[in-house]
Structure 1
Amino acid sequence: MIIPELDHPTLHLAMAQFDLAAEAMNLDPRFRERLKTPQRSLMVALPIRMDNGNVKMFMGYRVQHDSARGPSKGGVRYHPDVNLGEVAALAMWMTWKTALAGLPYGGAKGGISVDPNQLSQSELERLTRRYVAEIFPLMGPDKDIPATDIGTNQQIMAWMMDTYSQQVGFSVPGSVTGKPLSIGGSLGREEATGRGVVDVTLEALHYKGIKIHDTTAVIQGFGNVGSHTARILHEAGARVIGVSDVTGGLYNQAGLNIDDIFQQHKFGIPIAEMKVGDHLTNEELLTLDCTVLIPAALSEQITVKNASHLRCQILTEAANGPTTLEADEILHDRNVFIIPDILANSGGVIVSYFEWVQDVQRFFWNEGDIRQRLQEIITSAFHRSLLFSREKKTTMRLAALMSGIDQVAQAHAVRGLYP
């Protein structure tokens, strides 16, 4: 088997963003190489007995980028394209994200190179439990706390929590987040990332002087993040005119029936098969004329090839790394207001933090408290980044990155170097 390498475009993007921010903030050279290098990287071979009796090999990964500010935190992704380079990039972004939000965490990420839709439920369970058994030495509520990501859900988190608990001999709800409520999950966790995306988008609209009822929105991706973003934005009064999933997109200038689309998608009907608007491709969707464009799918969707064709005033990055550096420059020159990913999609890790706190304290909050605390933290991070960007005359992306990186560098400075 060929071992995946770190040479991955998403990691190149994360490194390049860091270099730009480090140069702009004149970061102490002592910290530059340290903060670009993951603290720990683990690759695990996962031989799984399939339902037909054959044994199939999968590759799993867990990267802990930094733990200077606390235990590392990050999702586990099940996707065919997962490899070590992508996971390392996502772990780095998670470090800046948690620091920007003021959470006492470092960044981590994990994943398995697999298409979960091609596995039976029993095969998926065996794969999940074997993965946790292999990364067990790195896991723990005070060491590294996995969560949901693309291709994983509450049930997978329940298997992870159970497997970890079996290893230690007692129930440890705080070992993972994104669990079902019955075993220590938190109210509001499923919609948290989407709700956070809407919170910062509303702040950006207010900053730009645009009323919500005059707002049109286009959302690429209709998974957990995109679907809840569309629903909550629609409920807030925006007109959602375009949505898409991997099969294609739907468009209606008068506004789509988001409730209908949400329910159909919940029952497994792909957007390309729905009859509630005009069909178009994901590429066409990105260039629709709208107030707010929200990429909520995979990385590097907005590139030098299509950036000049975007027709939005605000770009809210619900996905991780959806915009390349070259596209960033084009959009900046065109005065597109970008809410960067480490800010825009931090609602998930913020409510994951709430879940972890509730598990550790054995005291659970109501949903109203969770929504209020999420809004307070993420809008505060938005305004700090906005103020910083205006004072330093830089972009929102660089402002957010510099703020997060500075927090981590300060932690390393005061802790010193051991031994």
Structure 2
Amino acid sequence: MSTDVFSDALNRVKQIGESADVSPEIIEGLMHPKATMTASLPVRMDDGSTKHFTGYRCQYNNVLGPTKGGIRYHPDVSLEEVQALALWMTIKCAVVGLPYGGGKGGVIVDPKHLSPMELERLSRSYVRAMADFIGPQTDIPAPDVYTNARIMGWMADEYEAIKRVKAPGVITGKPVRLGGSLGRDDATGRGAYLCVLELAKKKGLNPAETTVAVQGFGNGGYHAVRLLQDAGYKVVAISDSQGGIYSDNGFDVNSIYQEKQRSRRVRAVYCEHSVCELVDHKSISNEELLELDVDILIPAALEGVITAKNAANIKAKYIVEVANGPIESDADPIIDEKGIVVIPDVLANAGGVTVSYFEWAQNRAGYAWTLEEVHQRLEHIMQKSFADVWELTESENRSMRDAAYTVAMRRIGQGIEAHGTRDYFNS
């Protein structure tokens, strides 16, 4: 990940905004986060000592609605990363037409080194620090890297205890019995999968002849390739933070996922019921996976894995960004020159925030939807959003990333113009 990830994100907004004929006033507004909070989070450890962790929450832009975005627990979390993620979330919500602005949060911690009770204390400490900064009509957190439904349940419970109200809409991604939505668990991967289906229609892809590699086998990456395999696509490479595996013959995604839950490792296995056997494969690094000669590459890990240094080595015909910001801005021209079609993160991974929006809407209405309703509504939004971006890509001869950002900035611009801009007041 680039140490200057926020500057890189701003640079991309500025470059695309200027080429898209977006008002300088709108671009300037997107250069500055609305508000950011930094807090020291005291946590009583199991041995009786107290440790302090640093937590962040950024509300980037709320022109189109309350801010929305996940909370990640990771040792590499930084203020700059949180601000970049909040900016991307601002763009993402506008691309898919949600009534949200962008936000993001994070804690500098390796959650693997915490006991379950320490993890709960940390999560509640975060909410105590942020209780006056978040809220169901101001800023709505959700899960992200190394956070999950249980953690969101702890956070929602702590907020309600502090405020002395029932407020299920304050946080999304909760357990279903605590107001969570059906379909949230695979929403990010499903959104990416739906984008691939739309791309296949445009490019005439035959699933049986289309190879897929995924870097990152967490929630988003796993569900994306699981659904693609179910649709007939051939998944030939999978990796996690420890390394990867490759086979021309492809893998059974569910077998590998089942083994990872058991051993915490990505291993080339085929499982039938509880019996697993090793299959022929080649061990590869994450870097090697990115450069495989496959049809579809899915970077689903962290930011900045494709840079100007390795972009020329990318051989995939299509890249689907399930991770946030996996391609740095200085790699964009190289990728475009090679003719690689990129479905950008602000579209490809928008399924997660879309179903989070569904959860928030259900919480506010006090009425739960069926899984079928969630899937149908998600499919409708992803198909329409893909069509909006693709139409601009074709009509203005832009990359899909440029088109997605242009769609978003013009929608944000319409919100700003409704209040009046320099042109209005000087007319």
Higher mean C-alpha displacement, 303-312 vs 377-386: 303-312
The aligned counterpart of 1:4 is: none
2:289 is aligned with 1:285: yes
Matches for 1:228-243 after TM superposition, within 5 Å: 228-243=223-238
Contact 1:272 1:279 in 2 (8 A): no
What letter is aligned with 1:396? M
Q: 2:301 aligns with which of 297, 303, 306?
A: 297
What letter is aligned with 1:310? I
Deviation at 1:416, TM superposition (A): 4.3
Deviation at 1:25, TM superposition (A): 2.1
CA RMSD of aligned residues (A): 1.4
Q: 1:307 aligns with which of 311, 316, 326?
A: 311
Contact 1:139 1:175 in 2 (8 A): yes
Distance 2:259 2:170 in 1: 33
Deviation at 1:268, TM superposition (A): 4.5
Distance 2:27 2:191 in 1: 30
2:104 is aligned with 1:100: no
Deviation at 1:272, TM superposition (A): 5.4
Higher mean C-alpha displacement, 166-175 vs 177-186: 166-175
The aligned counterpart of 2:394 is: 390
2:195 is aligned with 1:191: no
What letter is aligned with 2:104? K
2:27 is aligned with 1:32: yes
2:61 is aligned with 1:66: yes
Compared with structure 1, are the counterparts of its residues 8 and 64 closer, same or farther at alpha carbon in structure 2 (3 Å cutoff)?
A: farther
Distance 1:24 1:145 in 2: 32
Distance 1:267 1:203 in 2: 34
Distance 1:163 1:415 in 2: 37
Matches for 1:5-404 after TM superposition, within 5 Å: 8-271=3-266, 275-276=278-279, 277-404=281-408
- How many residue pairs end up in the alignment? 411
Contact 2:26 2:409 in 1 (8 A): no
Secondary structure at 1:196's aligned position in 2? Answer: helix
Distance 1:42 1:413 in 2: 28
What letter is aligned with 2:148? N
What letter is aligned with 1:300? G
What letter is aligned with 1:380? K
Secondary structure at 2:327's aligned position in 1? Answer: coil
What letter is aligned with 1:165? E
Distance 1:163 1:198 in 2: 35
C-alpha offsets along residues 180-229 of structure 1, whole Å, 9 cap, x if unaligned? 01111111101000000110011112211111121110000001111111
Contact 2:245 2:268 in 1 (8 A): no
Secondary structure at 1:405's aligned position in 2? Answer: helix
What letter is aligned with 2:4? P
Secondary structure at 2:212's aligned position in 1? Answer: strand
Q: Percent of aligned positions with the same letter in both sequences?
A: 43
Secondary structure at 2:312's aligned position in 1? Answer: helix
What letter is aligned with 2:105? G
Contact 2:299 2:321 in 1 (8 A): yes
The aligned counterpart of 2:425 is: none
Contact 2:259 2:267 in 1 (8 A): no
